[in-house]
């Protein structure tokens, strides 16, 4: 290599120094400009059907709403600027033409004295796949594993506490404090989910929750456009999404449209007087769903149901305000495109403005035709639940929500089947009669069935620690119609009563350094814990390959003395499910059910491989068999 002369070295070093200085000054100027005002959505994309974007802009100056806003960018125009009641806010309506190319759009804000500030607003190219490699939707062919990031696994202890955030708790001995679980802990164990046969992960909300306490659950957003840094932030959330997709798996995001946290910036400094539902004094929802559809009901009571606050710490958003509605819809679209979300679980669905929800769901479906949504419909009654989803009812309001969290097959189905003595209207009869009412749903296969979740007593505790009942419940979960959802830890016999709820949100064994028990490796698990974990693996992986269980039809027979038999079947496969909730032994013959067993001569137990020849099948009390029929 030729040596450089001293003057050349000086020139090169000076040039480098000037470049570094210029870069620093530009970065500093950009940071200052971005601090001038907060813009949400923080960016958008070219080629979107939703190409008229309403920006909510906030600055810490009372005269800000009077500033003029201009933009000079090919294909991007401002159609309207609206000052809001709070002079710190304004909205900027932007139209993005199909010809617009990705780049940085400069939004220029000019005050009355002629002083201008520029905010860079990125216009990005769309995610690769444009709806095929993400926004896939979650269907009955999937198996959802549901977890709380803070309580599953701590993959990076460096983000356990963020000094700038209000909740600095970190105490695994407290059921209310943060424990440190994060995205890296989830990414570290993707092999585990696949070993169970899971195809989809559903996480409790991952957006920033900068509340002073009880932030472990994530349902009190404080910034819609920021992923909570204690989980690892936006980049790691994208890595989790991409890692799932690279394995052929899917991601469900937990959406909350009904409320925000009390420290959300739009509540601390409200853009308009009607941004939230206001009452003369605090008014909580009645938690009664009937006033929303009762033909004899009073409008005043339906208003309390829908507009009453969920809790004092969760201000209730007024989705009848068109700016609020746009804000929420655009955020939903933004999350799908930014993070590659495949489906939505919608929190507190019944307390939202239902006309708004139809509009929001439609916007997602217009942009992502394959995406699916299911709502939390914690009600009591099949008719009640069906009101909130696509149904066959002849009623004025028609929902476009595809599915529900199926509390009916839980409360009025598998729970009484396991804990009640059999009777004409009791015990497993309730499971049969609940499923018999599926005629009200447009597509009951889109309902998400489950044994427990983050808000209720864990199933093993509900059945008083009876592991055999848990095993029956799991066999039902993986063979009934719908989309099965397993709550983290159920497969390793985690217990907990829901009062208070922290006891059903304990840490997953092995997720933290130093855990004596490790469910990922099997170290320290009891024989029973290992047995049930292996049962889930058998059921989950069999279902993954079973056309009958994923998309087949359901045929059930009237229970007799605690014996309940149902079939899942299609043209390729027939699976026979025998649930004996009674006190006596049964010996069944395939010929007892000729409608579904004609042409079959034997059966194989999918759990232990036992073969039943000549159609004779013994079933012990408090046991369930899942059999693949053979010719």
Could you report the per-residue pLDDT of 349-365, keeping only the tens digit for each?
Answer: 999 999 999 999 999 99
User: What pLDDT score was predicted for residue 614?
Assistant: 81
Read off the pLDDT band of 30 (50, 70, 90): very low
pLDDT at 484 over 60: yes
Give yes or no for residue 6 having a pLDDT over 90.
Answer: no
Task: Write the CA distances from 179 to 68, 149, 171, 172, 559, integer angstroms.
Answer: 47, 10, 6, 5, 45
Handedness of CA 500, 505, 510, 515 (dihedral sign): negative
Question: Does position 22 have pLDDT exceeding 50, yes or no?
Answer: no
Q: Is a pLDDT exceeding 60 seen at residue 219?
A: yes
Segment 224-275, tens digit of pLDDT: 999 999 999 999 999 999 999 999 999 999 999 999 999 999 999 999 999 9
Q: What is the pLDDT of residues 293-326, one digit of tens each?
A: 999 999 999 999 999 999 999 999 999 999 999 9
Beta bridge partners of 581: none
Q: How far is CA 31 from the centre of its chain?
A: 34
Q: H/E/C letters for each residue in 582-599? A: CCCCEEEEHHHCHHHHCC
Which three-class secondary structure state does DSSP give residue 428?
A: helix
As a CATH number, domain 144-551 is 3.20.20.80
Q: Give 494-511 pLDDT, tens digit per residue.
A: 999 998 999 999 999 999
Q: Which CATH architecture has domain 37-124?
A: Sandwich (2.60)
pLDDT band at 415 (very low <50, low <70, confident <90, very high): very high
Residue 579 in 3-state DSSP? strand
Tell me if domain 144-551 and domain 553-630 are identical in fold.
no
Averaged confidence pLDDT in the chain: 94
Separation between Cα atoms, residue 90 and residue 582, nearest integer Å: 66
Residue 276 in contact with residue 315, Cβ under 8 Å?
yes
Sole residue written with tokens 């769309």: 126
DSSP state of 230: G
Q: What is the pLDDT of residues 604-621, one digit of tens each?
A: 999 999 999 987 999 999
Question: What mean pLDDT is predicted for residues 151-168?
Answer: 97
Average pLDDT over residues 43-55: 98
Pair 516, 455: CB distance under 8 Å? no
Contact 211, 177 (CB under 8 A): no
| pTM of the predicted structure, to 2 decimals | 0.94
Model pLDDT, residue 576: 98
Q: List the catalytic residues.
A: 347, 376
Residue 454 has pLDDT above 80, yes or no: yes
Look at residue 13 and tell me whether its pLDDT is greater than 70. Answer: no
- The whole-number pLDDT of residue 615 equals 78
Tokens representing 194 are 């696949």
Mean pLDDT for 211-218 is: 96
Can you give the pLDDT at residue 152? Answer: 98
> Is the pLDDT reported for residue 25 higher than 60?
no
Q: At 447, phi and psi to the nearest 5?
A: -75, 140
Domain ranges of the chain: 37-124, 144-551, 553-630
Residue 132: predicted pLDDT: 58
> Which tokens in the block code for residue 381?
């009654």
pLDDT at 379 over 70: yes
Closest CA to 216 of 276, 168, 275: 168
> Looking at residue 187, what is its pLDDT?
98
Domain 553-630: give its CATH superfamily.
Golgi alpha-mannosidase II (2.60.40.1180)
Strands 68-71 and 103-110, how do they pair? antiparallel
- Calpha distance 112→92 (Å, rounded): 18
Calculate what percentage of the chain has a pLDDT beyond 90. Answer: 92
Nearest to 487 by CA among 508, 471, 516, 515: 508
Give CA–CA dist 606/324, Å, rounded: 51
Predicted pLDDT at 34: 52
pLDDT band at 27 (very low <50, low <70, confident <90, very high): very low
Q: What does the radius of gyration of the chain's CA atoms come to, in whole angstroms?
A: 28
């Amino acid at each position: 290599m030729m040596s450089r002369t001293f003057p050349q070295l000086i020139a090169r070093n000076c040039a480098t120094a000037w470049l570094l200085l210029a870069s620093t000054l530009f970065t500093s100027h950009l940071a200052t400009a971005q601090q001038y005002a907060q813009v949400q959505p923080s960016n958008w994309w070219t080629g979107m059907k939703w190409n008229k974007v309403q920006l909510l802009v906030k600055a810490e100056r009372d005269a800000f709403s009077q500033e003029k806003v201009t933009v000079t960018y090919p294909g991007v125009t401002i159609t309207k600027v609206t000052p809001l009641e709070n002079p710190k806010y304004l909205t900027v309506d932007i139209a993005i033409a199909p010809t617009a190319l990705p780049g940085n759009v400069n939004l220029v804000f000019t005050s009355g004295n002629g002083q201008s500030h520029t905010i860079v607003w990125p216009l990005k190219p769309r995610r690769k796949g444009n709806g095929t490699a993400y926004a896939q939707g979650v269907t009955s062919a999937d198996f959802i594993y549901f977890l709380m990031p803070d309580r599953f696994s701590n993959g990076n202890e460096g983000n356990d506490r963020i000094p700038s955030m209000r909740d600095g708790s970190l105490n695994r001995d407290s059921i209310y404090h943060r424990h440190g679980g994060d995205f890296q802990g989830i990414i570290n164990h993707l092999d585990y989910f696949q070993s169970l046969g899971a195809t989809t992960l559903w996480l409790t909300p991952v957006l920033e929750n900068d509340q002073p306490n009880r932030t472990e659950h994530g349902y009190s957003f404080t910034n819609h456009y920021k992923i909570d840094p204690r989980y690892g932030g936006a980049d790691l959330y994208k890595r989790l999404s991409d890692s799932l997709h690279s394995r052929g798996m899917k991601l469900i995001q937990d959406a909350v449209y009904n409320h925000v946290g009390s420290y959300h910036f739009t509540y601390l400094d409200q853009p308009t007087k009607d941004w939230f539902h206001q009452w003369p004094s605090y008014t909580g929802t009645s938690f009664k769903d009937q006033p929303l559809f009762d033909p004899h009901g009073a409008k005043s009571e339906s208003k309390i149901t829908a507009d009453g606050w969920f809790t004092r710490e969760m201000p209730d958003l007024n989705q009848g305000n068109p700016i609020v509605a746009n804000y929420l819809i655009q955020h939903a679209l933004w999350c799908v495109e930014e993070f590659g979300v495949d489906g939505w679980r919608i929190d507190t669905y019944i307390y939202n403005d239902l006309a708004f929800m139809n509009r929001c769901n439609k916007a997602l479906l217009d942009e992502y035709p394959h995406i699916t949504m299911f709502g939390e419909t914690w009600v009591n009654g099949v008719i009640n639940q069906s009101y909130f989803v696509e149904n066959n009812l002849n009623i004025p309001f028609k929902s476009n929500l595809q599915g529900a969290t199926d509390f009916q097959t839980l409360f009025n189905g598998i729970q009484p089947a396991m804990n009640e003595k059999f009777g004409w209207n009791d015990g497993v009869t309730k499971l049969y009669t609940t499923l018999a009412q599926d005629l009200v749903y447009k597509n009951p296969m889109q309902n998400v069935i489950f044994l427990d979740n983050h808000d209720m007593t864990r199933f093993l505790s509900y059945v008083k620690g009876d592991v055999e009942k848990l095993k029956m419940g799991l066999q039902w979960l993986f063979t009934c119609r719908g989309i099965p959802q397993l709550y983290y830890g159920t497969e390793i016999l985690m217990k907990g009563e829901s009062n208070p709820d922290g006891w059903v949100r304990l840490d997953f064994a092995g997720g933290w350094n130093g855990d004596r028990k490790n469910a990922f490796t099997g170290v320290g698990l009891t024989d029973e814990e290992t047995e049930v974990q292996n049962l889930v693996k058998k059921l989950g992986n069999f279902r993954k390959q079973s056309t009958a269980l994923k998309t087949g039809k359901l045929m059930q027979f009237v229970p007799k003395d605690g014996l309940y038999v149902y079939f899942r079947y299609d043209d390729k496969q027939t699976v026979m499910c025998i649930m004996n909730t009674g006190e006596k032994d049964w010996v069944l013959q395939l010929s007892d059910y000729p409608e579904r067993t004609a042409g079959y001569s034997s059966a194989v137990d999918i759990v232990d491989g036992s073969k039943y020849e000549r159609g004779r099948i013994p079933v012990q009390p408090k046991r369930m068999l899942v059999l693949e029929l053979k010719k």
